[in-house]
Every structure is written in C-alpha cells, then in structure tokens.
C-alpha cells in the first residue's frame, strides 16, 4: 500500500522567519509519525533557508519510520549524507533564487556526476531516488545512473489550470510509472500534491510513496497536525 512521506521543511520555514527555536520540525515529525506518516522528508538546502544541520542530526536519531534526505548532488551534501546515513537520499536540482524546487533533475546532462553520487551513497547502504520530470528520456538516464527510485515531479500536474491539461499531465505520469517499473525502478512522487489532486493521482496506482509538505502544513495550521496527517493518509490508502 502506498505511503505518506511527510515533508516538514515548512515547519522550519516558520521557525526561521523569527530565527528562534519554534515551531520545531523535530516535534512535527514525531507528531506526523504518530498520526500515520510512514516516512519523514527534509530538504537540507545549500543556503540552509529552512532545515538546519541540527535538524538533520536530531531527526536521524529520532525518526522511527524512514528518513528521506532531499539534497543537491554536491560534494558537501554527499559528505553529510555519508556521515548521517538517512535511509534514503533524494537527489534534487537546486537554484538559490527559487522559492521551491522548480523542476526535475537533468539526469541526461549531468549523468556522470549523478552516477558518481549515486554510487557513493549506495555503496554506503543508502537507497537513492532521483527527482525527475515525467519524461521518458530522463527516466532512461535515471536507470543508467544506478539509482533505486525515481521521484516523479508532480508540479506540472498540480498546477494544471483545467481538467484537460490535468488529464494530459496524468497520462505523462502514468507513462513514467510504467517505464520506471519496466526498467526495475521504484516510483515515488511529490510536489504540489494536495487533498484534492491526490485522488486522481493515487487512482492510477504504481506510486509507492508520496512526499507531501505544503498542503499538509497549511491544513495543520488550521486543524492541527494529527488531523491533517490522518486526512491525507486516509486519501492515500483508500484512493
């Protein structure tokens, strides 16, 4: 059955807005797990705009399900991952000016450096996932890199202005899942998934883990973390 990987970056964003100590993403992660999240996802960005090294260190020791570290394939980040050993690393592209991750990795263009990073991580027992657009050529390159999973970038699907566009994007995602499965890779998905668009997405099947942050934290502010996580887990499990 598909799983929720709860992204707690946005809790850290609120904390950093005041440069203080609350709210703590570590507390949010623990509450999320108690409510049914089966993974905790954090993105340690080069500029440390939300998640801090301290969060990674503590979460490494406290997460009871699975810690998924999103990071750029840089020397610094690979070193940090090899030291802290999250269960999974998701390699993502990173631009300093972006508000959030804006597109999938260009695995074709960066095949050599990505393959090197994948090897170093996998040699140390870390499962590796590549965040890619639902693009057949990128998925073929992801397979060549030796990564275990792709995480399909669902941003274009989530931003579709009408149902015809959404259906087209969903077809691309479906084709991406089929190709990844055929080449022996597991499939995760993330970016812009909310309580409405999860329904058609989950209905196509084949996605193991949904990494969701913004919509859940937005709801948690209003109704509480427990309810926000439980509502999403229910939609994922019973779609």
The torsion angles phi and psi of 219, rounded to 5 degrees, stand at: -75, -35
Q: Does residue 195 come out as left (phi exceeding 0), alpha (psi in the -120 to 50 range) or beta?
A: alpha
Query: Minimum distance from CB of 179 to ligand PXP (Å)?
Result: 19
The burial class, CB within 10 Å (0-12 / 13-18 / 19+), for 11 is buried
When the beta carbons of 10 and 31 are compared against ligand PXP, the nearer one is 10
First to last CA, the chain: 11
Selected range binding ligand PXP among 32-40, 59-67, 115-123, 205-213, rule: CB under 6 A: 205-213
Beta strands in 172-214 (DSSP E): 186-190, 209-212
User: What contacts 24+ positions apart, CB below 8 Å, involve 51-58?
Assistant: 51/8, 51/9, 51/12, 51/25, 52/12, 53/80, 55/12, 55/25, 55/26, 56/80, 56/84, 56/86, 57/84, 58/26
When the beta carbons of 33 and 155 are compared against ligand PXP, the nearer one is 155
When the beta carbons of 80 and 212 are compared against ligand PXP, the nearer one is 212
70, 94, 169, 209: which one binds ligand PXP (CB under 6 A): 70
Please identify the residue of the shown chain whose CB is closest to the bound ligand PXP.
190
Interface with ligand PXP includes 3 (CB under 6 A)?
no
Residue 214 annotated in active site: no
Residue count at the site for ligand PXP (CB under 6 A)? 19
Interface with ligand PXP includes 101 (CB under 6 A)?
yes
Residue 10 annotated in active site: no
Beta-bridge partner residues of 43: 70
Interface with ligand PXP includes 193 (CB under 6 A)?
yes
Residues 111-170 that bind ligand PXP (CB under 6 A): 131, 151
Write out the catalytic residue numbers: 43, 70, 191
Which residues make up the interface to ligand PXP (CB under 6 A)? 7, 9, 43, 70, 90, 92, 100-101, 131, 151, 190-193, 211-215
């Amino acid at each position: 059955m598909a799983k929720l990987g709860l992204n707690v970056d946005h809790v850290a964003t609120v904390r950093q807005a005041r440069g203080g100590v609350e709210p703590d993403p570590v507390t949010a992660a623990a509450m999320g797990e108690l409510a049914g999240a089966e993974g905790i996802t954090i993105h340690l960005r080069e500029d440390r705009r939300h998640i801090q090294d301290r969060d990674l260190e503590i979460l490494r020791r406290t997460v009871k399900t699975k810690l998924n570290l999103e990071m750029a394939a840089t020397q610094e980040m690979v070193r940090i991952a090899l030291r802290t050993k999250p269960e999974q690393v998701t390699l993502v592209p990173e631009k300093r000016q972006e508000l959030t991750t804006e597109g999938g990795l260009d695995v074709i263009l960066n095949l050599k450096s990505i393959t090197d990073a994948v090897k170093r991580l996998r040699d140390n027992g870390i499962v590796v996932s590549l965040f890619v657009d639902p693009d057949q050529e990128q998925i073929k390159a992801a397979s060549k890199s030796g990564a275990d999973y792709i995480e399909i970038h669902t941003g274009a699907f989530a931003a579709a202005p009408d149902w015809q566009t959404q259906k087209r994007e969903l077809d691309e995602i479906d084709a991406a899942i089929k190709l990844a499965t055929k080449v022996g890779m597991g499939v995760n998905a993330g970016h812009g998934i909310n309580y409405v668009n999860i329904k058609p997405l989950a209905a196509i099947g084949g996605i193991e883990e949904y990494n969701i942050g913004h919509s859940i934290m937005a709801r948690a502010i209003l109704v509480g973390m427990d309810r926000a996580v439980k509502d999403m887990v229910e939609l994922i499990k019973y779609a």
